[in-house]
Structure 1
Amino acid sequence: MNKPTYVQEYKAITEVLNKYNDGCKQAQSSIMKPAFNEQATIFGVGADGKLTGGAIQNLFDGIDSGFRPSPEAQNAIVKIDIVGTAASARIDTNDVSGFCFTDFFHLLKVDGHWTVVSKIYHTHVAP
């Protein structure tokens, strides 16, 4: 049997993404910050249908000021796709401070470590 190609990379990416998940659940950006490159961006579409976002600090500020701890929150890493030093991932999250999201992440392996360089998201109508 051939050696599995990306098993170790998959595990490393999962660890990075779980920092984001834990930071959302606990409403503390300090928990998720290590998952993101300092140059990372975040974008979504606001209720008015217009593009919103920019520097990843917007996410951190929003988590710290507008979210509350949500022990009931659930998330699933739906997909991770890896090619060499590039990867993409999708996370679906329910009940984070009353919100439900689908997030898409782009990651790069920089200096031997996976880091999120961009996040786009869709906010679902909460049930």
Structure 2
Amino acid sequence: MSDEQAIGTVVHLYVDGMAFCNEAALRKAFHPDAKIIGNFQGAVEWMSRDEFIAAILAEPPAAPGTQPLLDIEITDIEGDAAFVKVTDEFAGMRFTDYLSFLKIGGHWVIVNKLYHLHR
């Protein structure tokens, strides 16, 4: 599997994890020290991976068989670092996410998520 395919797999894991409130998928997609940052409801939101997962799990999951929105717009890979711009939806809101990846021990993980909430 190419690096781009491996990263795409993690992006799908992340989006499906959000849509279906799958804690195990989200823990696999994100590094334990990852940060999730963006403006939400008029304030800067700065969360740890565990705080982010708790927020996801507080929402109802998408119905089984639902196809979550996932539009990978940019993938840029340089050695063991990568960046992905993806548009997705969660809890009726549309986001553009800027995901930073690092290849650790042969596996790609999200180390940072900067997001924009569309109005």
User: Would you say same fold, with TM above 0.5?
Assistant: yes
Q: 1:10 aligns with which of 1, 4, 7?
A: 4
Indicate the RMSD between aligned Cα atoms, in angstroms.
1.6
Deviation of the 1:82 alpha carbon: 0.3
| Residue number in structure 2 paired with 1:101 | 95
Give the length in aligned residue pairs: 117
Segments ≥4 residues shifted beyond 6 Å: none
Where does residue 4 of structure 1 map in the other structure?
none
- Where does structure 2 lack aligned partners over 5 or more consecutive residues? none
State the AA in 2 paired with 1:86: A
Amino acid at match of 2:30: F
Residue identity over aligned pairs, in percent, reads 27
Unmatched runs of 5 consecutive residues or more in structure 1: 1-6
- Name the residue aligned to 2:32: 38
| Separation (CA, whole Å) in 1 of partners of 2:86 and 2:28 | 18
Asked if 1:74 is matched to 2:88, the reply is no
The secondary structure found in structure 1 opposite 2:58 is: helix
| Structure with larger Rg | 1
Q: Match for residue 3 of structure 1?
A: none
TM-score by length of 1: 0.84
Question: TM (normalized to structure 2)?
Answer: 0.89
